[in-house]
């Protein structure tokens, strides 16, 4: 698996509405999992392609915590969120590659989105251990990896790491051009 981090300037493309043409509509992908009042965690949000939809779905009573290792990604996300009138629902943080820097959220997360980023982590098991610690019992994690970058065996290894951390596989949703699994904290 590659440990290369997506360059910040690619964040402009990744936040583009053109991604919807590739059948990656955040509203459709997130609708079954996120609703008003939830506390949601997103690691590697880039400039907010999914974050803005998460913020819309959690409503005024919910919260989205978005963490990234690149300050330029977080700056871009905040600009886009402010323009959309959603910044007050988003806690955007710059963190290190080795930690999610979110121990203040232990046991408080209803849903975690890990979209096309676990393969960039220095340690997948460390990511899943931290995500499990942040999750409420019964909390969900949607894991999606690009099938072009992450081979079948590597995705299955990520799932094994997730299970070691205390998640179970609840579903294998279909997301175009992605390996995907919905995980539940046991």
Higher pLDDT, 14 or 65: 65
Whether 7 is covered by a domain: the verdict is no
Predicted confidence at residue 145, as pLDDT, reads 96
Predicted confidence at residue 45, as pLDDT, reads 93
| Contacting residues for 136 by C-beta, under 8 A, at least 6 apart | 107, 108, 109, 110, 185
Whether 2 is covered by a domain: the verdict is no
For the chain, give the mean pLDDT. Answer: 90
Whether 16 is covered by a domain: the verdict is no
- In this structure, the dihedral spanned by the alpha carbons of residues 106, 90, 59 and 142, taken in order and rounded to 10 degrees, is -60
Give the tens place of pLDDT for each residue, 89-137.
999 999 988 888 899 999 999 999 999 999 988 899 999 999 999 999 9
Predicted confidence at residue 107, as pLDDT, reads 98
**Closest to 76 measured CA to CA, from 12, 14, 166, 151:** 12
Whether 4 is covered by a domain: the verdict is no
Q: Domain count of the chain?
A: 1
Whether 159 is covered by a domain: the verdict is yes
Query: For the domain that residue 152 is a member of, what is the CATH number?
Result: 3.40.50.150
Cross-strand pairs, 139: none
Whether 164 is covered by a domain: the verdict is yes
Whether 100 is covered by a domain: the verdict is yes
Whether 5 is covered by a domain: the verdict is no
Domain residues for the domain of 141 are 24-185
Left if phi > 0, otherwise alpha if psi is -120 to 50, otherwise beta: which for 14? alpha
Q: Hey, what are 65's tokens?
A: 């915590």
Q: Hey, what are 68's tokens?
A: 């990234």
Give the tens place of pLDDT for each residue, 70-84.
899 999 999 999 999
Predicted confidence (pLDDT) at residue 47 exceeds the cutoff of 90: no
Give the tens place of pLDDT for each residue, 4-39.
666 554 544 555 565 545 557 899 999 999 999 999
> Position of tokens 């955040």?
26
- State the first-to-last Cα distance of the chain, in angstroms, to the nearest integer: 27
């Amino acid at each position: 698996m590659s440990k290369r981090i997506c360059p910040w300037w690619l964040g402009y493309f990744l936040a583009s509405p053109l991604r919807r043409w590739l059948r990656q509509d955040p509203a459709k992908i997130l609708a079954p999992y996120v609703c008003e009042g939830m506390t949601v965690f997103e690691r590697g949000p880039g400039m907010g392609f999914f974050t803005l939809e998460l913020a819309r779905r959690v409503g005024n009573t919910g919260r989205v915590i978005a963490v990234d290792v690149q300050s330029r990604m977080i700056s871009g996300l905040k600009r886009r969120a402010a323009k959309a009138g959603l910044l007050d629902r988003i806690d955007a943080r710059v963190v290190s590659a080795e930690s999610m820097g979110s121990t203040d959220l232990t046991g408080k997360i209803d849903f975690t989105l890990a979209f096309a980023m676990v393969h960039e982590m220095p340690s997948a098991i460390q990511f899943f251990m931290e995500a499990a610690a942040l999750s409420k019992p019964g909390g969900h994690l949607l894991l999606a990896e690009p099938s072009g970058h992450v081979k079948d065996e590597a995705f299955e290894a990520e799932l094994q790491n997730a299970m070691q951390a205390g998640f179970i596989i609840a579903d294998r949703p279909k997301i175009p051009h992605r390996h995907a699994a919905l995980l539940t904290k046991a």
